[in-house]
């Protein structure tokens, strides 16, 4: 087993920067007005009495620089929610998803809140990994020049026949669209996918005419627009609620320390409640942590391209695993799949806890309905 895992690590070691962890800076410092004043839409419910002072767990959570892709993890930490739930959370710096998976398997990291591609890849080889929750759903955007965008018709993926597509290897959007394009009847031998080293490289390739179209993530659609490109569609329009970043942990650790992981998810759901009830505080905390432009942070969190969700989404994870198999990214005949490597109960237990603790918050019902759709 160790030899197999090592071979997989070596095979993807060239992915020097995890696409899901990249953060798009605006092409130029925002000289436009600050975002319009955003009042809290509703007042956050008062917390029920809790006493976790006698329970203390330590969790080591991966963080990629000042990225806010795992925004609720950052927000929960900044607001002190982890400590209030009896957790001592430390952020461990990683450079890429390989670092994270290696650390998880090696026992020096407890939670990787980025990526899903490496998780599926290693599970296909028999790795002792499990998904305990979500970070982002959807998030991928298609970018084209205005000239090419004018020739694209909504819903007609036959447009991709004969096209060159720029992408970043460890990113879910282009993998999902690869399958969708094939299902539309396109001869995939006529479509050339060019893998580049980052989303800005994708933007530049499209701008220079080296690619007809590109797929980006992590807010780079906004970046592309500032440079003259257009976003003709979001991948989520073709694959609603498609998984992007997940929270991955070592399966044996989750089984041995289940309460710690449930408490981690409770804190993240409290951060989501804050995000949905107090935009001003949410933006201020994320700007303070990241140093990013306020308008950019607002767009990342609230424009709906990246759908923030802590839902483990077992059904969607398995669907993506099968997409990777269909595309040849992992072996079609692997004896493993993700059905035994998603622990939806962690999220469910956390969600039922906050529903009982904060009954006046009306966002929980929609989350439970989504849970039932995505996991049962």
* Sign of the torsion angle spanned by Cα atoms 279, 285, 286, 292: positive
DSSP designation for 30: -
Contact 209, 203 (CB under 8 A): no
At 74 the pLDDT is 98
- Number of C-alpha atoms within 13 angstroms, CB side, residue 242? 27
Distance, in Å, from the CA atom of 46 to the CA atom of 44, rounded to the nearest integer, reads 6
Phi, psi for 320 (deg, rounded to 5): -70, -40
Closest CA to 223 of 315, 141, 330: 141
Alpha carbon of 65 to those of 7, 15, 261: distances in Å? 27, 17, 23
At 75 the pLDDT is 98
If the chain, 376 residues long, is cut into consecutive pieces of 10 residues, what is the mean pLDDT of each piece? 43 39 41 36 53 78 94 98 97 93 97 96 96 95 97 95 94 94 97 96 98 92 94 95 94 97 98 98 97 92 91 96 94 94 98 98 97 92
At 55 the pLDDT is 67
User: Which tokens belong to 104?
Assistant: 């998880």
Distance, in Å, from the CA atom of 185 to the CA atom of 181, rounded to the nearest integer, reads 7
DSSP string, 273-305: HHHHH-HHHHHHHHHHHH---HHHHHHHHHSSS
Domain ranges of the chain: 2-138+243-375, 141-237
* Sign of the torsion angle spanned by Cα atoms 53, 352, 318, 68: negative
At 53 the pLDDT is 54
CATH of 141-237, picked from 3.30.70.360, 3.40.50.2300, 3.40.50.300, 3.40.190.10, is: 3.40.190.10
Instruction: Specify the 3-state DSSP secondary structure of 47.
Output: coil
CB atoms within 10 A of CB 190: 10
* Helix, strand, coil tally for the chain in percent (to 5): 45, 15, 40
At 38 the pLDDT is 38
Contact 243, 133 (CB under 8 A): no
Q: Where are the beta strands (DSSP E) in the chain?
A: 57-63, 87-93, 129-134, 136-138, 141-144, 164-168, 192-196, 213-216, 230-234, 246-250, 306-308
- pTM for this entry: 0.85
Pairing outcome for strands 230-234 and 87-93 = unpaired
DSSP designation for 159: G
Distance, in Å, from the CA atom of 218 to the CA atom of 67, rounded to the nearest integer, reads 10
Domains 2-138+243-375 and 141-237 agree in fold: yes
At 98 the pLDDT is 84
User: Which tokens belong to 79?
Assistant: 């607001």
Contact 307, 275 (CB under 8 A): no
Q: How far is CA 231 from the centre of its chain?
A: 20
Instruction: Specify the 3-state DSSP secondary structure of 233.
Output: strand
At 41 the pLDDT is 54
CATH of 2-138+243-375, picked from 3.40.50.1220, 2.60.40.10, 3.40.50.300, 3.40.190.10, is: 3.40.190.10
CB within 8 Å of 23: residues ≥ 6 apart = 65, 66, 67, 68, 69, 218, 219, 290, 292
């Amino acid at each position: 087993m160790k030899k197999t895992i090592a071979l997989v690590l070596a095979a993807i070691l060239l992915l020097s920067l995890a696409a899901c962890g990249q953060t798009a800076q605006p092409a130029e410092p925002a000289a436009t007005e600050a975002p319009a004043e955003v009042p809290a839409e509703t007042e956050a419910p008062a917390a029920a009495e809790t006493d976790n002072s006698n329970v203390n767990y330590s969790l080591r959570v991966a963080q990629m620089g000042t990225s806010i892709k795992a925004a609720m993890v950052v927000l929960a930490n900044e607001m002190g929610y982890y400590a209030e739930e009896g957790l001592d959370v430390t952020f461990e710096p990683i450079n890429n998803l390989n670092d994270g998976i290696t650390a998880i398997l090696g026992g020096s990291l407890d939670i990787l809140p980025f990526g899903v591609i490496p998780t599926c890849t290693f599970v296909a080889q028999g790795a002792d990994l499990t998904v305990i929750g979500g970070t982002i759903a959807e998030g991928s955007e298609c970018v084209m020049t205005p000239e090419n965008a004018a020739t694209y018709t909504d819903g007609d993926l036959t447009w991709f026949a004969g096209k060159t597509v720029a992408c970043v290897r460890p990113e879910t959007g282009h993998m999902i669209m690869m399958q969708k394009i094939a299902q539309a009847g396109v001869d995939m031998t006529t479509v050339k996918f060019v893998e580049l080293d980052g989303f800005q490289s994708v933007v530049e390739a499209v701008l220079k005419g080296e690619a007809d179209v590109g797929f980006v993530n992590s807010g780079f659609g906004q970046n592309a627009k500032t440079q003259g490109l257009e976003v003709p569609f979001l991948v989520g329009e073709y694959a609603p609620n498609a998984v992007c970043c997940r929270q991955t942990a070592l399966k044996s650790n989750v089984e041995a320390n289940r309460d710690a992981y449930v408490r981690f998810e409770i804190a993240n759901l409290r951060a989501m409640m804050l995000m949905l009830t107090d935009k001003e505080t949410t933006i201020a905390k994320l700007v303070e942590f990241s140093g990013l432009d306020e308008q950019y942070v607002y767009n990342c969190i609230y424009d709906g391209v990246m759908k923030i969700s802590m839902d483990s989404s077992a059904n969607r994870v398995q669907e993506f695993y099968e997409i990777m198999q269909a595309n040849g990214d992992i072996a079609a005949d692997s004896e493993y799949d993700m059905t035994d490597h998603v622990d939806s109960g962690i999220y469910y237990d956390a969600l039922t806890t906050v529903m009982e603790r904060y009954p006046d918050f009306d966002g929980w019902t929609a989350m439970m309905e989504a849970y039932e759709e995505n996991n049962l």
